[in-house]
């Protein structure tokens, strides 16, 4: 066995199952699961139809590089969304969802010949970053994101002598779980550091299309690079249809960035055997080309936030997120795991303890005392859950 497997911690939802072991929920109340970021809005019919219309593609082996149609569709979308002109042949690669690609990227890019190998990660964070680092033979450096600094990644806190061993910096904007969006100054600082210390920026933007103001989408890494007149040589952006189009089971996304990074990542993936199925490619090309269903998706999330936040504001402390579909809320008493366990027992509602999404760094676990509430269910269920949470706290 690979001994690095022993370094992996249980996934947050495994910890949640263990936390709830032996707990009997209030069976007279309907179960509402707000713990996992799995969209519950219906998959658009035209995407479902495109998938079934292209099932003949099952008879063919797919190419790792994907179809011309899919890469062109993504390039057009990136042009419209980010204001950049990407070469669909050399700067875009389809992937089987951003999770798979975020993990695989470290395996392909970490240089094992270096004695010290570090990866920067926000903390709290998406646990794939940590697993990717450890199994690639690198050590994560967790950069705490705290409410007092607006959940920003404060790169000045990274020890100066550590930068020379950094090979990848994972960043998530809009952030999971905080909803924090990088501004232009933060992108500029990160680009400067990457150039100075020669590391790669892995920008996880899978929540980029869930935001509140239709006229002000979150600033993406590609847009920031264009605005700052930077090339993409040290930049790889990861995006997905899962949240944008309510198709988490489709396992479809893309990476975009520097041509040399794409070339090397494609080489790795050719051997890894991670080509996207032809029917999925065809449905994905059509999904990226349509914005109407995405605007409707955002409308539903706005409606839920507007309904839920006034109910929860008197009982939980939270900042209104910049984007994404999470509320990152502080709980009374500071025991996030105990709060989640008792909430499940008394109200049959599942939320995720924040400490499960973070690691102790600098003597603190920055997720301690928080819960992540994913507003992924329907409006009625989310409002019902908010009222139950408020009643639970008030009791």
Q: Is residue 199 domain-shared with residue 311, that is, in the same domain?
A: no
Burial class for 305, CB neighbours closer than 10 Å (0-12, 13-18, 19+):
middle
Q: Is residue 300 domain-shared with residue 388, that is, in the same domain?
A: yes
* pLDDT over threshold 90, residue 112: yes
Per-residue pLDDT of 163-190, as tens digits, reads 999 999 999 999 999 999 999 999 999 9
Range of the domain at 28: 3-42+293-394
- Sheet with 92-95: strands ordered across: 92-95, 253-257, 235-240, 200-204, 166-172, 118-123, 139-144
Q: How many structural domains is the chain composed of?
A: 2
pLDDT of 377 reads 97
Q: Is residue 130 domain-shared with residue 267, that is, in the same domain?
A: yes
* DSSP sequence for 148-187: GGTT---GGGS-GGGGGGEEEEEEESS-TTT-----HHHH
Q: Is residue 27 domain-shared with residue 81, that is, in the same domain?
A: no
Rounded CA-CA distance 275/337 in Å is: 39
Q: Is residue 91 domain-shared with residue 240, that is, in the same domain?
A: yes
Q: What is the mean pLDDT of residues 124-153?
A: 96
Q: Is residue 258 domain-shared with residue 387, that is, in the same domain?
A: no
User: Which CATH number goes with the domain that contains 259?
Assistant: 3.40.640.10
DSSP state of 7: G
Q: Is residue 83 domain-shared with residue 204, that is, in the same domain?
A: yes
Among residues 290, 319, 341, which one ends one of the domains? 290
Residue 1's pLDDT band, with cuts at 50, 70 and 90, is very high
Q: What is the mean pLDDT of residues 302-310?
A: 98
pLDDT of 27 reads 84
Q: Is residue 240 domain-shared with residue 362, that is, in the same domain?
A: no
pLDDT of 101 reads 97
Per-residue pLDDT of 82-101, as tens digits, reads 999 999 999 999 999 999 99
Per-residue pLDDT of 326-370, as tens digits, reads 999 999 999 999 999 999 999 999 999 999 999 999 999 999 999
Q: Is residue 328 domain-shared with residue 182, that is, in the same domain?
A: no
Q: Is residue 361 domain-shared with residue 308, that is, in the same domain?
A: yes
**pTM of the model as a whole:** 0.96
Rounded CA-CA distance 334/371 in Å is: 10
Q: How far is CA 90 from CA 85, 93, 260, 271, in A?
A: 12, 8, 8, 18
Among residues 290, 314, 341, which one ends one of the domains? 290
Q: Is residue 177 domain-shared with residue 319, that is, in the same domain?
A: no
Among residues 290, 312, 344, which one ends one of the domains? 290
* pLDDT over threshold 90, residue 297: yes
User: Which CATH number goes with the domain that contains 10?
Assistant: 3.90.1150.10
Task: Return the percentage of the chain with pLDDT > 70, whole number.
Answer: 100
Q: Is residue 242 domain-shared with residue 364, that is, in the same domain?
A: no
């Amino acid at each position: 066995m690979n001994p690095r497997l022993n370094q992996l911690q249980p996934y947050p939802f495994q910890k949640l199952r263990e936390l709830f072991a032996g707990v009997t929920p209030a069976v007279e109340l309907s179960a509402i699961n707000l713990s996992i970021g799995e969209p519950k809005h219906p998959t658009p019919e035209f995407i479902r139809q495109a998938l079934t219309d292209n099932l003949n593609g099952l008879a063919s082996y797919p190419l790792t590089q994907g179809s011309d149609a899919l890469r062109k569709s993504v390039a057009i979308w990136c042009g419209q969304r980010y204001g950049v002109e990407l070469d669909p042949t050399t700067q875009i690669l389809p992937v089987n969802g951003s999770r798979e690609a975020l993990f695989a990227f470290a395996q392909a890019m970490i240089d094992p010949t270096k004695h010290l190998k570090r990866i920067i990660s926000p903390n709290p964070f998406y646990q794939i970053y940590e697993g990717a680092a450890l199994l690639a033979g690198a050590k994560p450096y967790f950069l705490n994101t705290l409410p007092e600094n607006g959940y920003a990644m404060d790169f000045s806190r990274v020890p100066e002598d550590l930068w020379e061993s950094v090979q990848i910096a994972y960043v998530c904007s809009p952030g999971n779980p905080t909803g924090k969006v990088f501004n232009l100054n933060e992108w500029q600082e990160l680009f400067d550091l990457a150039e100075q210390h020669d590391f790669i920026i892995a920008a996880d933007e899978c929540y980029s299309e869930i935001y509140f103001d239709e006229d002000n989408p979150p600033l993406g890494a590609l847009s920031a690079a264009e605005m700052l007149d930077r090339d993409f040589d040290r930049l790889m952006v990861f995006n997905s249809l899962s949240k944008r189009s309510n198709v988490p089971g489709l396992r479809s996304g893309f990476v975009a960035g520097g041509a040399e990074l794409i070339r090397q990542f494609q080489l790795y993936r050719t051997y890894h055997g991670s080509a996207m199925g032809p029917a999925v490619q065809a449905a994905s090309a059509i999904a990226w080309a349509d914005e109407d269903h995405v605007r409707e998706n955002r409308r539903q999330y706005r409606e839920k936030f507007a309904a839920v936040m006034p109910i929860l504001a008197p009982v939980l402390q939270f900042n209104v997120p910049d984007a994404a579909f999470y509320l990152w809320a502080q709980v009374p008493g500071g025991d996030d795991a105990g709060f989640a366990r008792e909430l499940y027992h008394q109200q049959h509602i599942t939320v995720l303890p924040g400490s499960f999404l973070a690691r102790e760094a600098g003597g603190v676990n920055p997720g301690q005392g928080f819960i992540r509430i994913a507003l992924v269910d329907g409006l009625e269920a989310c409002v019902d859950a908010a009222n139950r949470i408020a009643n639970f706290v008030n009791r």
